[in-house]
Amino acid sequence: MHLILTYLLAAGAGVLIAHFISRAPELRAMRLSQLVLVPGVMVLCVYFLPDTTGTSEGAAVGQVICFAAMLLFLALLLAPNIAYHCGAALSNFLDPSDWTPLEEEIALRPIRQLIDKDQYYQALGELDQLLKNHPPTYEALLMKAKLLYHFGRVDETAAVLLSLIRLSKTTGQQLTVMELLAALEEHYQDPPKPAAAGIRRIEIEHELVLFPTAASAGAPHKEIPPGAYQVQETIHGDHRWLKLAGEPWGNARICWEAIQATDRPAAAPPKKGLFRQIARMHQAITTAIKGKPRLQRQAEAHNLLKQANQFIRRDEWQKALPLLQKASGCDPDHYEIAYRWVQAVGHTAGEAAAAQAVSQVLKQSRWTRDEQQMLHQLKHPLAK
């Protein structure tokens, strides 16, 4: 038998090993299960550690077999981590990586200060340098478009604005881009050729705001999700538009083409093998204990909101309600989801239910004062 201190040291060593070997973001899904299993296996290794003094030969052989089995189990638990670190070390040795975060925020405050001082040339130069070293963001490219327009570089301004459609995360952001593009229409016109006849298929990989091509369309605009659409060419003013076949909704052809889907390599087949199965086991244990990771829940909430918005645009609140309720459960801190859910409750169940939903939403997260006021206004949906 071993001292209790020995078992405590073995468990502590197991915790340290599991902690350091699972620090990489790609291995975080296995961290919780390894923090539980690795110390336990280390303790069992100490328990079955062969002790030849005072034991029979048969008992010693049994201890050796159990000890070897525990070591093998420990190796299997840590095999995905060891394989990942060895592969990453070899990859970094052969091709050192640039570890600049993809989502690093571009510091635009110095650029704004230069603009406030009317130093536009310097502001544009420094902004171009920032965009060379960082992935573009909506705010940075919008500022660049305004600077280019200030210098009369219309073609470059239009190109930057078209690239902004892909970076737009809300309908409001995309409407801003469309308004700026409309302000440039007087500077360029499409060649005076008749619209091409017939219907063609176009696939887009980002949401797109459409505008009415006829006075009878009703709403000022609507948004369509990514996907394939049947469209036909038409002339709107002096520009070529593509409109949905059989519907009075469209947008400039250049806007459709700016987010047109491009050919991509086929997705790699799902990984198989022993390491993959071990990693899935760790992830299943972690999910059973902690639930789904936050990023996964936020992604599910975003997808549910997109589905619900399709029903909301058609005033089908009854169908949108369960989707919004599930999305709110996945991401209770997302204000747009909470607001839409309360709206759906008010449209389907009346003012009393809406007031109760508002009280629930106010408790589930910390909202700003303006957000709280807008939520309180939803207590009386019929008064709007």
What integer is the mean pLDDT of 182-205? 75
Residue 284 lies in a domain: no
Residue 312 scores a pLDDT above 90: no
Pick the range with the lowest mean pLDDT from 56-60, 132-136, 152-156, 224-228: 56-60
Residue 270 lies in a domain: no
Among 33, 62, 93, identify where a domain stops.
93
pLDDT (tens digit, 9 = 90+) per residue, 99-110?
A: 555 445 677 888
Q: Are strands 222-224 and 227-236 parallel, antiparallel or unpaired?
A: unpaired
Q: Binning pLDDT at 50, 70 and 90, where does residue 174 land? A: very high
Residues 298 and 379 in one domain: yes
Q: Identify whether the C-beta of residue 13 lies closer than 8 Å to the C-beta of residue 42.
A: yes
**Cα–Cα distance, 355 to 377 (Å, whole number):** 9
Instruction: Give the relative orientation of helices 294-313 and 335-349 as an angle to the nearest 10 degrees.
Output: 40
Residues 129 and 63 in one domain: no
The enclosing domain of 363 has a CATH number of 1.25.40.10
Residues 244 and 320 in one domain: no
Residue 141 lies in a domain: yes
Q: Binning pLDDT at 50, 70 and 90, where does residue 215 land? A: low
Predicted model pTM: 0.47
SS3 sequence of the chain: CCCHHHHHHHHHHHHHHHHHHCCCHHHHHHHHHHHHHHHHHHHHHHHCCCCCCCCCHHHHHHHHHHHHHHHHHHHHHHHHHHHHHHHHHHHHHHCCCCCCCCCCCCCCHHHHHHHHCCCHHHHHHHHHHHHHHCCCCHHHHHHHHHHHHHCCCHHHHHHHHHHHHHHCCCHHHHHHHHHHHHHHHHHCCCCCCCCCCCEEEEEECCCEEEEECCHHHCCCCEEECCEEEEEEEEEECCEEEEEECCCCEEEEHHHHHHCECCCCCCCCCCCCCHHHHHHHHHHHHHHHHHCCCHHHHHHHHHHHHHHHHHHHHCCCHHHHHHHHHHHHHHCCCCHHHHHHHHHHHHHHHCHHHHHHHHHHHHHHCCCCHHHHHHHHHCCCHHHC
**Predicted pLDDT at 108:** 84
Q: Binning pLDDT at 50, 70 and 90, where does residue 383 land? A: very low
Residue 270 scores a pLDDT above 70: no
Residue 260 lies in a domain: no
Residue 266 scores a pLDDT above 60: no
pLDDT (tens digit, 9 = 90+) per residue, 36-55?
A: 899 999 999 888 887 656 56
Q: When comparing pLDDT for 97 and 124, which is higher? A: 124
Round the average pLDDT of the chain to a whole number and report it.
Answer: 82
Among 187, 217, 232, identify where a domain stops.
187
Pick the range with the lowest mean pLDDT from 73-87, 170-184, 254-268, 315-329: 254-268
- Residue 121, class by beta-carbon neighbours within 10 Å (0-12 exposed, 13-18 middle, 19+ buried)? exposed
Residue 275 lies in a domain: no
Residues 296 and 377 in one domain: yes
Residue 128 lies in a domain: yes
**Predicted pLDDT at 384:** 45
Q: Binning pLDDT at 50, 70 and 90, where does residue 208 land? A: very high
What integer is the mean pLDDT of 66-90? 88
Residues 362 and 304 in one domain: yes
What integer is the mean pLDDT of 100-126? 81
**Predicted pLDDT at 101:** 52
**Predicted pLDDT at 103:** 47
What integer is the mean pLDDT of 357-365? 87
Residue ranges making up the domain that contains 65: 4-93
**Predicted pLDDT at 353:** 87
Residues 8 and 89 in one domain: yes
**Cα–Cα distance, 243 to 320 (Å, whole number):** 27
Residue 365 lies in a domain: yes
Residue 149 scores a pLDDT above 70: yes
Q: Considering its fold, how many domains does the chain have in total?
A: 4
Residues 58 and 129 in one domain: no
- Percentage of the chain surpassing pLDDT 70? 83
Residue 276 lies in a domain: no
Q: When comparing pLDDT for 379 and 125, which is higher? A: 125
What integer is the mean pLDDT of 151-156? 90
